[in-house]
A = this chain, B = another copy of it.
Amino acid sequence: MADVKGGPNPLFLREEELRQAMELLFFAYRDFTGEPDQILADYGFGRAHHRVIYFVGRNPGITVSELLAILRITKQSLSRVLSQLVADGFITQRPGLRDRRQRLLDLTDKGRELENKLTEQQRVRIARAYRSAGAEAVEGFRTVLINIIDAADRGRFDRPELAGRPAAAKTPPTKTAGRR
């Protein structure tokens, strides 16, 4: 890991700094995901259900393939939680308009309600952190995280568009679906 000390170190990426980054990610994710789990337990759901509900809520009409690409799990793993969510009335399926093989997914009102309940504490946590860190730090946070993410998925964060654009998260129908 090239330990070139001295001077205005262009290699300020020393071991310790990198380790701290790794740990920051670990602890932040641990605490970020820690809270919704109790609520989920009340419904007999797990973290996987939360992820599905979240991304369906975020991308109404998302296809199964797109969801698989986001979650990076297998069709079967998704299938299990998804059918549960459909059976329990949190998510609806409808055939695709242009491609009727697809099953476009949407939250029901009940689903939206649960989604909101689940992300509530997470929003509070982030908001608190953003507030005390300040706008400039938030920009840095975003920049670094985007660069940690695989290049293929960085497009999802193209720009916050603080004006409220819904953010084209669906990825235009390129051949990108089903990677892995």
Contact = CB atoms under 8 A, between A and B. Distances in A.
Contacts of A123: 1, 15, 18, 22
Interface size class of A (residues with CB under 8 A): 35 or more
B128 A147 contact: yes
A121 B164 CA distance: 36
Contact of A31 (B31, B140, B148, B160): B148
A84 to B, nearest CB: 21
Interface of A: 1-5, 12-32, 34, 51, 54, 58, 72, 119, 122-123, 125-150, 153, 156-157, 160-162, 164, 166-167
Closest 5 CB pairs of A and B: A140-B140, A137-B140, A129-B147, A141-B144, A24-B145
